[in-house]
Structure 1
Amino acid sequence: MKALLLKYWERLRSSFWFLPAAMACLAVALAFAAVALDRAVTDDWLERLGWRYSGGAEGASLMLGTVAGSMIAIAGTVFSMTLVAMSLASSQLGPRLLRNFMRDTSNQVVLGTFVATFVYCLLVLRTIRRADEVAFVPQLSVSIGVLLALVSIGVLIYFIHHVSVSIQADVVVARVSRELDDGIGRMFPGHLGKSQSEAPNPPDAAELPAAFAHEARPAGALEDGYLQLIDADALMELAREQDLLLQLECRPGHYLVHGQTMVMVWPGDRMNDELVHQLNAAFVLGNQRTATEDIEFSFLQLVEIAVRALSPGINDPFTAIACVDRLGSALCRLARSDMPSPFRFDDLGQLRLVATGYTFAGITDTAFNQIRQNARSNPAVAIRMLDAIARIACHVRSASDAACLRRHADMIVRGAREAVPEAGDRLDVEARYMAAAQALRSFRVEPGDQTGNRFLA
């Protein structure tokens, strides 16, 4: 249930209607409260407000009508400008980045401000009574409407600036990079249960029960879609209640088809239809990948921007270089992080869950492979990728991570040797390759030590 609620919250954050609708509801409440206050207070009290509206019913009606009409017209203009910006970003940077623009709170607040002002003025306008009836001019309410109109003008000026800045490639890359940093901060599956060091008297984390391989039974998916979220608490609680050991066969970002194995359950004789439905309830599937628990998706967003920038139709290597810089920064942070153990324990130290985790090599492949393949003939991007590898080499802490970086450096320089026609450009790439190799050579593994030790070359 927690993961499902988080999924719906992400949908609300990525929608254009939720925040404007909430602001419109607040405008309704403000209109009724202001009119009620106008009816309750005396004219003497209102006269103490030097900025209050002091005109008649006709003037108040004309003023509120003008504000309401202009606000709904501006709201349509703002919506059109937003769609144009989203269309431009989709064609230049990639359609999967539309979610980032739709989640932009500033755009939602701007649209909500104009809608709320329109709703407020419309509701106050209907309370004004002419002299031939019971005369009533809500002076305080009209004054608030004028104040909201002035605020809306300021918001419009801010929106014009914001939308022109938000579609710049460097700004989009920085925004995606911040989301990537947030994803690394909540590395999956580090929050599933307790790690070995936190559990009292844990079993050997490197071994599954001997009978697991031939007694465990699979639990399949009941629908198709991308795995977006996993309700970790629900899985651990279910495993404790029924004394189960669960091994995840997928992770957020994987595409599942109906019947595909999601979890291996041991003991297998406890499998039944009810348990399959309970397990499926902990997995949230959707039509697209999200960055909530899928770190690779944020890496792929930067990769998509870089690959599109390197395409012949766009030919923008500077944007690709900016993406490589951000990817290198994220990989530096990832190299310094401790990859969580796939073995998760309950409060009593009992092994309950074996999760499919990420590896540094796998994420590095995701970050570099497609860019390297599309930048074979572009020495500037190849040089920046080798510079990024040299920076990351200063942060790796295991021999396998260093070997992964060396493998990518070798592939980059081989591609440049084959595809770069100018000899001078190839020499520049070779020089950066030697610098990256030198940085990686400063990593030494002692006999019996799989983590490696740093020393100055």
Structure 2
Amino acid sequence: MNSLRYKLSTLAQTFWFIPAVLVVFSIVLAQFLIWLELRFGVPSQLSFIYQGGESGARSLLSSITTASIGVAGTMFSITIAALSSVVSTMGPRLLHSFLQDRGIKLTLGIFVATFAFALFSLRSISAGEEGESVFVPHYNVTVVMIYATLYIAAVVYYIGHMAGSISMTRVVNLLADDLSDALQKGTEEAEQQRQFTMPPEGYFLAAQPLHADRGGYVQYVDYQGLAKAAEHHEAAIELLVRPGTHVTRGDLLARCVPERFDIDEYLIIGNTRSDKQDMEFSVRQLLEVAVRALSPGTNDPFTAMDVVDRFAEVLSQLQDRSLPQGVIERDHTIRVLHDVTTYEGLVDEMFVQIRQNAKGTVAVYMRMLEALSKVVDTTTRPDRCEVLKRHADLIMSDAGELVTTSSDLRALEQRYQRFIELMEQNVRD
């Protein structure tokens, strides 16, 4: 059931879903208004309804039909040109954020819905030739004026919205919000879990292997459905992959004891990564912005520092809260063990490549040390402090080799000492 819900959710988030719904609604509305007028006519007391004749209605609907599709085509051609330039700077994977923008999808929906409504209304006009009775869809002509008004409003909104959407700061903020939401969801899940007694080491060594029958990225895992199936088969399963993992045909997916069962319906493998359960997906997108900003062709350390600030903000919100343990039980029996994102893995994903690509950029080193100081000031867990200290040590090691100016080295040393003081104070408290 969760897999079906995931597929329906994915379908609803496709770029064409909202436009398709609005087009279908507009066609149905056009046909309904035509039927309504043919059946009951237009009451005389409805003075706001269009009162013109056949030629006026035909001209109006023809103009709106032609203009709506023409303007829509021109605007989206310009949009594609603008996005191609932006994507070359921020990375092609960020196109996903634009395609998921509900404002853009709604605007496109209004554009094509106006065209569809006007076109289907136009085809119903009859001039009374060849013995046919004259028919003018007065309701439709009135409603198409409302569509045209919405169309103009959508054009104005779209121009302003797109101008803001291609802003680097807005993109970084949106990706940071996605990452914050993913971490919040993960910590809420962890809070609902109790402490488990893990199976003894080697418990799954004699288990039955389960291999992938196709390659791609693991997009979704129905953990609860998998646990329920394991309970039904009186089995326990160790899942060796997680959402975001790339597998090839024949790769080992899981190990099951005492006997294996089919798990294909509980795993969805596709051609691209998905942000539904992949906590590191938003990290990767933000990281790509920073790495591209630090490339020699771009050389924009300010954007990289902006990304570092967002990483620090997200980690500071995490504080001492736990991440999911990767254990699911039913009736006090462990049924599923699965791989999860750890704090160390998350911090490594955030900072390693930025440090490697900074290549002696002092401003970025300083901002990373300041960010680590902010994060270490929010946690009292020794294991997490050690993870953060390891990254601070790596930054100082790189700086010692790549930074030659003594004043810059002193500034970095001061920030490093500040980090150490905060860490020791929090661990001691």
**Aligned: 1:406 with 2:389:** yes
**How far is the alpha carbon of 1:8 from its aligned partner?**
5.4
1:212 alignment partner, SS class: coil
**How far is the alpha carbon of 1:432 from its aligned partner?**
1.6
1:443 alignment partner, SS class: helix
**Pick aligned residue for 1:256 from 247, 251, 254:** 247
| Distance in 2 of aligned mates of 1:242 and 1:432 | 56
Counterparts in 2 of 1:222-233, with a 5 A limit? 222-233=213-224
**Pick aligned residue for 2:102 from 82, 100, 105:** 105
Q: Which amino acid aligns with 1:114?
A: F
| Distance in 2 of aligned mates of 1:217 and 1:189 | 33
| Distance in 2 of aligned mates of 1:403 and 1:46 | 81
1:163 alignment partner, SS class: helix
Counterpart position of 2:178: 179
> Is contact 2:320–2:381 with CA below 8 Å preserved after alignment?
no
- Relative to structure 1, the CA distance from residue 131 to residue 220 in structure 2 (aligned partners, 3 Å threshold; closer, same or farther) is closer
> Is contact 2:204–2:256 with CA below 8 Å preserved after alignment?
no
**Aligned: 1:96 with 2:93:** yes
| Distance in 1 of aligned mates of 2:190 and 2:227 | 11
Counterparts in 2 of 1:333-372, with a 5 A limit? 333-346=317-330, 348-372=331-355
Counterpart position of 1:129: 126
**How far is the alpha carbon of 1:214 from its aligned partner?**
4.3
**Pick aligned residue for 1:206 from 188, 197, 210:** 197
> Is contact 1:335–1:360 with CA below 8 Å preserved after alignment?
no
**Aligned: 1:144 with 2:143:** yes
- Residue by residue over 1:225-253, the C-alpha shift from the partner in whole angstroms, topping out at 9 and shown as x without a partner, is 11111011221111110110111112111
- Relative to structure 1, the CA distance from residue 319 to residue 298 in structure 2 (aligned partners, 3 Å threshold; closer, same or farther) is same
1:263 alignment partner, SS class: strand
- What is the percent sequence identity of the aligned residues? 32
| Distance in 1 of aligned mates of 2:284 and 2:187 | 17
> Is contact 1:239–1:246 with CA below 8 Å preserved after alignment?
yes
| Distance in 2 of aligned mates of 1:221 and 1:386 | 42
- Residue by residue over 1:249-303, the C-alpha shift from the partner in whole angstroms, topping out at 9 and shown as x without a partner, is 1211111122222111111xx23xxx2xx21221111112121111111111111
> Is contact 2:312–2:375 with CA below 8 Å preserved after alignment?
yes
**Aligned: 1:425 with 2:422:** no
Q: Which amino acid aligns with 1:91?
A: S
- Relative to structure 1, the CA distance from residue 345 to residue 231 in structure 2 (aligned partners, 3 Å threshold; closer, same or farther) is same
- Relative to structure 1, the CA distance from residue 404 to residue 56 in structure 2 (aligned partners, 3 Å threshold; closer, same or farther) is same
**Aligned: 1:154 with 2:138:** no
> Is contact 1:4–1:284 with CA below 8 Å preserved after alignment?
no
| Distance in 2 of aligned mates of 1:343 and 1:6 | 21
RMSD, aligned α-carbons: 2.1
Counterpart position of 2:77: 80
Any gaps of 5 or more consecutive residues in structure 1? Answer: 198-204, 445-453
Counterpart position of 2:23: 24
- Relative to structure 1, the CA distance from residue 336 to residue 81 in structure 2 (aligned partners, 3 Å threshold; closer, same or farther) is farther
Counterpart position of 2:292: 308
1:390 alignment partner, SS class: helix
| Distance in 2 of aligned mates of 1:378 and 1:438 | 24
> Is contact 1:244–1:265 with CA below 8 Å preserved after alignment?
yes
| Distance in 1 of aligned mates of 2:44 and 2:285 | 56
- Relative to structure 1, the CA distance from residue 406 to residue 209 in structure 2 (aligned partners, 3 Å threshold; closer, same or farther) is closer
- Residue by residue over 1:302-339, the C-alpha shift from the partner in whole angstroms, topping out at 9 and shown as x without a partner, is 11100001111111111111111111111122343212
| Distance in 2 of aligned mates of 1:188 and 1:398 | 16
- TM-score with structure 1 length normalisation? 0.88
**Aligned: 1:49 with 2:33:** no
> Is contact 1:89–1:98 with CA below 8 Å preserved after alignment?
no
Q: Which amino acid aligns with 2:311?
A: L
Q: Which amino acid aligns with 2:122?
A: L
- Relative to structure 1, the CA distance from residue 428 to residue 140 in structure 2 (aligned partners, 3 Å threshold; closer, same or farther) is same
Q: Which amino acid aligns with 2:208?
A: R
| Distance in 2 of aligned mates of 1:288 and 1:89 | 21
2:55 alignment partner, SS class: helix
Counterpart position of 2:6: 6
> Is contact 2:187–2:322 with CA below 8 Å preserved after alignment?
no
**How far is the alpha carbon of 1:11 from its aligned partner?**
4.9
| Distance in 1 of aligned mates of 2:216 and 2:85 | 28
Any gaps of 5 or more consecutive residues in structure 2? Answer: none
Counterparts in 2 of 1:358-397, with a 5 A limit? 358-397=341-380
Counterpart position of 1:449: none
Counterparts in 2 of 1:188-199, with a 5 A limit? 190=189, 195-196=193-194
Counterpart position of 1:451: none
| Distance in 2 of aligned mates of 1:374 and 1:250 | 29
> Is contact 2:3–2:265 with CA below 8 Å preserved after alignment?
no
**Aligned: 1:236 with 2:216:** no
1:357 alignment partner, SS class: coil
- Relative to structure 1, the CA distance from residue 210 to residue 441 in structure 2 (aligned partners, 3 Å threshold; closer, same or farther) is closer
**Aligned: 1:247 with 2:238:** yes
**How far is the alpha carbon of 1:86 from its aligned partner?**
2.7
Q: Which shifted more, 378-387 or 65-74?
A: 378-387
1:442 alignment partner, SS class: helix
- Relative to structure 1, the CA distance from residue 74 to residue 187 in structure 2 (aligned partners, 3 Å threshold; closer, same or farther) is same
Q: Which amino acid aligns with 2:256?
A: V
- Residue by residue over 1:332-377, the C-alpha shift from the partner in whole angstroms, topping out at 9 and shown as x without a partner, is 223432122233210x211111121221111100000000111132
- In the comparison of the two structures, how many residue pairs are matched? 427
**How far is the alpha carbon of 1:210 from its aligned partner?**
7.3
**How far is the alpha carbon of 1:42 from its aligned partner?**
4.5
